[in-house]
Structure 1
Amino acid sequence: MGEQIIYDMTTLQDTIGSMSKLLGVDERQITKYCVSHKDDYDVEGFFSLLGLSEYSLLDFEIYITSLHVTTDKDNCSSVKKYGLLNLQQALIKDTPLRAYLEGFGVFIEIDKKQIKYHDKVFDISKEYNGINKPVDWIIYKLYRDFQLNSFFYSDNVLKYGGGIRRRPEFLYNLADFLGEPNIEYDWIKGTNCYVIKYKTAISQLADWTFDIDKDKIDYLDETEINIHKIKWFLNQSLRRINNEIFYNSIDDCYSYLKNDVFVPVSDILRVYSENEYLEEYRIRE
């Protein structure tokens, strides 16, 4: 196992510094390349210009940082106890989300694929085949889209749609499905928003995070897949640097953990309140 590197793209300077450490090149060389290749950056050309070998990327144990937005009524007690959980795990373990739903008489049984609501039992075992009814959103969120989604970088993670700054997106879908709007609205009362910065190994991220199609995976060996993934986030780094230097703006870059992965407490680097996040990243709203 090689030297561990925490690769951070959450700020411009962290991005340049992470590239410098991983590639063993001076930060000024990175900046110079980006300045002289406006909108024409490419990791292959960058490697060729500096005489770098892609196989040297495998000498390190790389962890990538991400920013995750969550809301909580109890000062992130669940996060401090369990780490960051995916939606299924958050509904199975003794978490504030599960306790909150049980307070409404809602019991979600992931394995049995059913939802109990007071004296009613809803079957959610049908095969997902697109979204046509409210129940389809429930099935999709619980069994297809339950992984942890975060940001490698963003202008402002708090501006992401879906109302994640106010409540878990799933509560909106559940309230709509059960016809009980207070399931969504009561969570918002007395809830605080947090931005959690964590690290994760490349192997813990879903392959489609890196734009690898299923057909390509079938004929690439493990070494080739790992190189592809590292070169992908190096290219995203060049993109971030380019856009911030020339346009003073960046697009969101998303990270998706594998379905069965959670973030242990030991991999959480920082828990920010909204104001702490905005101050740390110098964001004006």
Structure 2
Amino acid sequence: MIFDIQSIASSEKFIEEFFNTPIIKLIEKYIIQYNSNFDEFWIANKEYIDSVDISDLKFKVIHVTSNMDECSEIRTNGIKNLQRVLSEKTTLYTLLSNHGIQFDIKNRILINKDRVIDIDYKKYCNRGNLSDYDKKVKNIARKVYTDYQVNGFFSIKDPISYGTNIHKRPEFIFNLVELIPELRKMENHWVENSKGYIITFLAANDQFQNISFYDFEDIYYNKKEQELNLKKWLLYNAIDCIIDCSINNTGIIAYMNTNTIIRPEQILECSEITRE
């Protein structure tokens, strides 16, 4: 079974497979018998829902990116977290190195030509009255040490309208330019020589951070309770997509575990973005 709410049709398919019932009957029942009230629907069907095996469930996610090699690196090596992208021989690593930028992840430093910048995030969190410069350094440190996981969307109405033109160049380059303005030329080079892509992939439940599905209180629940709450999240969002006949404009974000790599065999499609 695949949880796919990228469209109304795919949401209907998931609900049909989950309940093993034609979607038209389910929706009529939801609207007429339960007055489109999800809580009533949940309570009435909880026993059946609890019996459904989702151990092999996969999630369809889209990831917005840009690159200069028509996704060759992604197709070969998969999608990696920011720490690995900055440490391994990737396109971004090479481009930064050519402009005098290197990251020593282990020792928490950023080297800008002959200048060493401390990017120990905890140090900046424990300091007050940061200068504008230090705030920019802190933002880089936060991205590298606390927000470096692969992210995507379970659903979003317009993926290229989200954030900071991530379909034109990596957001991290934008952050670096804020700190080191002379890297603007490098940023322009990326924008002018790259294409934007929507990468579609499948992932298993254990590849996601819990915050993708659960409130923080769920960490105190046992395994069965967590699974039931996950089912509630799945059904609520799929039904919401169908009933509202729309995809969430702000997006339902998929937060991958920090150590998760989206392997090449998980990737379903790399679609070029053909509009601004």
Normalising by the residue count of structure 2, what TM-score does the alignment of the two structures yield?
Answer: 0.88
Distance in 2 separating the partners of 1:270 and 1:87: 21
2:158 counterpart residue number: 156
Q: SS of 1:197's equivalent?
A: strand
Question: Which 4+ runs in 1 deviate beyond 6 A?
Answer: none
Q: 1:97 to 1:27 in 2, by over 3 A?
A: same
Task: Measure how far apart 1:40 and its partner are.
Answer: 4.1
| From 92, 96, 100, the counterpart of 1:101 | 96
Distance in 2 separating the partners of 1:129 and 1:36: 53
* Structure 2: unaligned runs, 5 residues or longer: none
1:54 counterpart residue number: 49
Task: Measure how far apart 1:98 and its partner are.
Answer: 0.9
2:232 counterpart residue number: 231
Task: Measure how far apart 1:33 and its partner are.
Answer: 4.1
Q: SS of 1:58's equivalent?
A: coil
Q: 1:11 to 1:117 in 2, by over 3 A?
A: same
Distance in 2 separating the partners of 1:112 and 1:118: 17
Q: SS of 2:140's equivalent?
A: helix
1:139 counterpart residue number: 141
Q: Equivalences for 1:251-270 in 2 at 5 Å?
A: 251=249, 252-270=251-269
Q: SS of 1:15's equivalent?
A: helix
Would you say the 8 A contact 2:34–2:40 is kept in 1? no
Total equivalences in the alignment: 267
Q: 1:269 to 1:126 in 2, by over 3 A?
A: closer
Q: 1:39 to 1:254 in 2, by over 3 A?
A: farther
Would you say the 8 A contact 1:16–1:30 is kept in 2? no
Task: Measure how far apart 1:82 and its partner are.
Answer: 1.2
1:185 counterpart residue number: 188
| From 113, 123, 127, the counterpart of 2:118 | 123
1:222 counterpart residue number: 223
Would you say the 8 A contact 1:58–1:227 is kept in 2? no
Amino acid at match of 2:160: L
Distance in 1 separating the partners of 2:231 and 2:149: 22
Identity %: 23
Q: SS of 1:163's equivalent?
A: coil
Q: SS of 1:10's equivalent?
A: coil
2:59 counterpart residue number: 64
Matched, 1:90 2:95: no
Q: Which moved more, 1:180-189 or 1:190-199?
A: 180-189
2:248 counterpart residue number: 250
Q: SS of 2:154's equivalent?
A: strand
Distance in 2 separating the partners of 1:233 and 1:24: 16
Amino acid at match of 2:255: Y
| From 6, 11, 25, the counterpart of 1:29 | 25
| From 157, 177, 197, the counterpart of 1:175 | 177
Would you say the 8 A contact 1:34–1:241 is kept in 2? no
Distance in 1 separating the partners of 2:34 and 2:168: 38
2:9 counterpart residue number: 13
* Structure 1: unaligned runs, 5 residues or longer: 279-284
Amino acid at match of 2:257: K
For the aligned residue pairs, the C-alpha RMSD in angstroms reads 2.3
Task: Measure how far apart 1:22 and its partner are.
Answer: 2.0
| From 192, 196, 200, the counterpart of 2:199 | 196
Q: 1:36 to 1:193 in 2, by over 3 A?
A: farther
Q: SS of 1:151's equivalent?
A: strand
